[in-house]
Amino acid sequence: MFSCADFLAEFGDYLEGSTKPGIKSCIEEHLRECRTCKVIVDSTSKTIRIVTETDSFLLPADDVEPIVQNVMSRVRKLKR
């Protein structure tokens, strides 16, 4: 019987889609029966989607531009 502890031990690989064959079916069977672990999977997957969205962290151009200008000024000095 696949326990919650077994599931958590495999959870990282499961999220990465790199679970070993055989284990994946045990996990999915466990998730059909265990609401707590299902909630963990769903909420963590949603979190990954939030973090993965390319514009989750928006850099205001006004803040970035001085940094880029600073970089340009520094590499120009190096060229001299």
Partner 1 sequence: MNSAIEQGALEKAVSTPGSQFVPKDRRSRLGNAQAFTDLIRLFEGEVYLLCFAVAGNPELAEEIALEATYRAFTARKHILTIEQLRSSLIGAVISTGRDLAGFVARSEAQFDVSGHGPSESLSPHSRSGFSPAALVNALLDCAPVERVVIVLRDTLHLTCSEIAGILNLPIEAVKHSLLTARLGICRMLFHAGDSQGRPLYE
Residues that bind partner 1 (CB under 8 A): 11-13, 15-16, 39-40, 42-44, 46-48, 50-61, 63-64, 67-68, 70-72, 74-76, 78-79
Q: Which residues of 7-40 are buried (b: 16+ CB within 10 A; e: fewer)?
A: beebbeebeeeebeeebeebbeebbeebeebeeb
CB of 63 to partner 1, least distance (A): 4
Least distance between partner 1 and beta carbon 38 (Å): 12
Dihedral (CA of 55, 56, 59, 60) sign: positive
Question: Smallest distance from the beta carbon of 31 to partner 1, in angstroms?
Answer: 16
